Chains A and B, each alone.
Chain A
Amino acid sequence: MSKRSIMSTSKFEDHLWREFVHEHGDGLAQLSRPAARHTLRRPRLVAGLGLGLAGGATALALILSATSAPAFAVTRNSNGTVTVTINQIAGVSGANTELAALGVNARAVPVTQGCTTTLGNLPPLRASSVILPPHGSQSVTIEPSSIPAGDTVVLAVVQSAGVLQILDGMVRQGAVPRCLALWNENGLKAIP
């Protein structure tokens, strides 16, 4: 996997995004993404776990749901990174417990309806190499050594229409919120 930094945007690029959201945000917010992405993810999880074990994983946690799909997995990889996989919102708590046990300053936070803490309220990602690109997948890989002391990576977890995604990761100082709300330029947005 190639490591790619998360680039900070300029004034122009921030301005363009605001204008874009104003003009097109509602349409994009209603957009349906292919269900195939969801149904084909499980093999990636299996492959990822296999790689982690082969690489000398020091920690692995799985909780099986009634349908035997793992609700979450936290794996320390041989290169020191930690891969977090969450397949169900119910797995958030277990994933956080495992992250704490491994001493990784990262926490998954569910995006829930009615929550008043928005993604926009949180500080932007401060360190470029903390998280390898999730792009809306169920797994992210974190570099714990890159997390600034005293900071915590907050992983926003959304489950909507049967599809769960870890949408974003932000380094945050202070207390980690219990929940997050979807956010756009118009303010808080309820989960569809």
Chain B
Amino acid sequence: MREGSGGSALLEFERIYRDNVGVVTSFFARRCSDPQTVADLTSETIVRAAAGFAGFDPRRGTPRAWLSGIAGHVYSQHCANAASGRDAVTRLAGLVTLAPEEIDELMGRIDAQRAGQELLERCAALSPLERSAVELVDLDGLTPKEAAAVLGVSRGVLRMRLSRARERLRKEHHVDEQKEHHVDEQV
């Protein structure tokens, strides 16, 4: 037996959307250089979230963690479909036809995520779990608890992996700086 809250679901969903769509857009802007792809994948994420909204329980996780999880699945599917030559976003193509100023805006968002892209590239040597932990916490702004929920691990494991990943990134960054300093001295 379920009770309905009727049209209030739309308002509740709008609240979640406006609080978190920027994080979702940035997630894709770090991974895609084409504004239309960023728009389509963001759309796909929102539509999938709406489809599953009836089952979303904020006691089990925050809206941001929930949407981040969906965005991750959407991107994985996008990559899999792209690799197999299928159009990943056929279902939603045309939902948002971007105006020129929106293309500029998303280009700006993609440019703004360049530092995030570089951080992700530096994370390439990390394990997938550590890489995701760094991205969710340090780039997307999720709390360790939220990130743990997205990644399906305990908070303790998340904190340990995050700490290890940050330490490794710091060491590598330090080594890189020393190498650059050495090259500068030689020049």
Contacts and interface: CB of A to CB of B under 8 A. Distances in A.
A126 interface: no
Contacts of B55: 34
A98 interface: no
The prevalent SS among residues of A at the interface is mixed
A161 B59 CA distance: 21
Contacts of A114: none
A25 interface: yes
A182 interface: yes
The prevalent SS among residues of B at the interface is helix
A92 to B, nearest CB: 16
A139 B136 CA distance: 28
A28 B46 contact: no
A88 B153 CA distance: 38
Interface in B1-20: 1-20
Contacts of B64: 4
A10 B11 contact: no
A165 B96 contact: no
B11 A119 contact: yes
A127 B2 CA distance: 36
A42 interface: no
A62 B5 CA distance: 25
A7 B22 contact: yes
Contact of B42 (A16, A35, A119, A189): A16
B4 A31 contact: yes
A6 B47 CA distance: 21
Given A28-B13, A37-B57, A165-B12, A12 B106 contact: yes
Nearest to A24: B50
Interface residues of B, number: 47
Contacts of A136: 5, 8, 11-12, 15, 58
Interface residues of A, number: 53
A33 B66 CA distance: 16
A19 B12 contact: no
A9 B21 contact: yes
Contacts of B25: 10, 12-13
A137 B54 CA distance: 15
Interface in A132-147: 133-137
Given A13-B25, A167-B12, A7 B6 contact: no
Nearest to B102: A12
Nearest to B95: A19
Interface string A16-30: 110111011101111
Interface of B: 1-22, 25, 39, 42-43, 46-47, 50, 53-55, 57-59, 63-64, 95-96, 98-99, 101-102, 105-106, 109, 143
Interface of A: 2, 4, 6-13, 15-17, 19-21, 23-25, 27-38, 40, 119, 133-137, 156, 158, 160-163, 165, 167-168, 182-184, 189, 191-192
7 contacts: A20-B43, A21-B10, A32-B9, A33-B2, A33-B4, A33-B9, A136-B12
